[in-house]
Amino acid sequence: MKPDVRHHYSTVKTDVTIYLVLLILLSFSLGYVLAFTNATLKIGKSLSTAGTPTGYQDAITPPRFAALSLTVYFAVLAILSYGFWEFGVLRASVFTMLLFSAVVVNLAVILPKSDSEHFRKIIIHSVLNRHADYLKAGDQLRASVMAELLEKLGIPVNQLVAQLKKVGDA
């Protein structure tokens, strides 16, 4: 009995389609991670007067962002490795170029720009939350550093804290 070649062809076609959909979805994730990293770098450098290559980038990057970015990088590596294993070097090379081309297009057209208000709000929210957490924990040194960063970002945190204390005392 001969194997049904039509069934095999439709399975391969389905596998390629699913793989391409995953690549496109990953291109959005990778593009977003790269844009956010660039945003933290630009804002971090703008806050610093020391002239260091990254400025305050590490201080303003949200704590969970490292885990998120590593997950995205690992997913990209895994899906590309799977492509080489499943589809061969030639097809996987084309898929790899497609992924990085999609990332470039997403960054240029669809995703927020690194200097957008979207990323600025995320950074301010993260720094503000860390400031509040440090105050709750009684860590005045770290809270004051976060307050200084918020002031440099244009958020009058000392006035905000004073208002909140008045509300709490009332």
Give the CA radius of gyration of the chain: 23
Tokens of 37: 């990293």
User: For position 170, what pLDDT does the model report?
Assistant: 58
Domain span holding position 121: 116-170
- DSSP assigned state of 52: -
- Count of domains for the chain: 2
Sign of the C-alpha dihedral, residues 84, 89, 90, 96? positive
Contact 48, 56 (CB under 8 A): yes
User: For position 11, what pLDDT does the model report?
Assistant: 56
Which of 93, 113, 133 is at the close of a domain?
Answer: 113
Rounded CA-CA distance 45/23 in Å is 32
CB proximity list for 114: less than 8 A, separation 6 or greater: 35, 36, 38, 39, 42
37 & 91 share domain? yes
63 & 92 share domain? yes
28 & 87 share domain? yes
Rounded CA-CA distance 26/72 in Å is 8
Rounded CA-CA distance 147/156 in Å is 8
The series of mean pLDDT values per 10 residues for the chain, 170 residues long, is 50 80 96 97 91 90 96 97 93 95 96 95 93 92 92 84 68
Rounded CA-CA distance 107/113 in Å is 7
26 & 100 share domain? yes
Tokens of 97: 């170029």
165 & 105 share domain? no
Sign of the C-alpha dihedral, residues 26, 31, 33, 34? positive
148 & 86 share domain? no
Rounded CA-CA distance 117/115 in Å is 7
Query: pTM, whole model, 2 decimals?
Result: 0.84
User: For position 9, what pLDDT does the model report?
Assistant: 47
22 & 100 share domain? yes
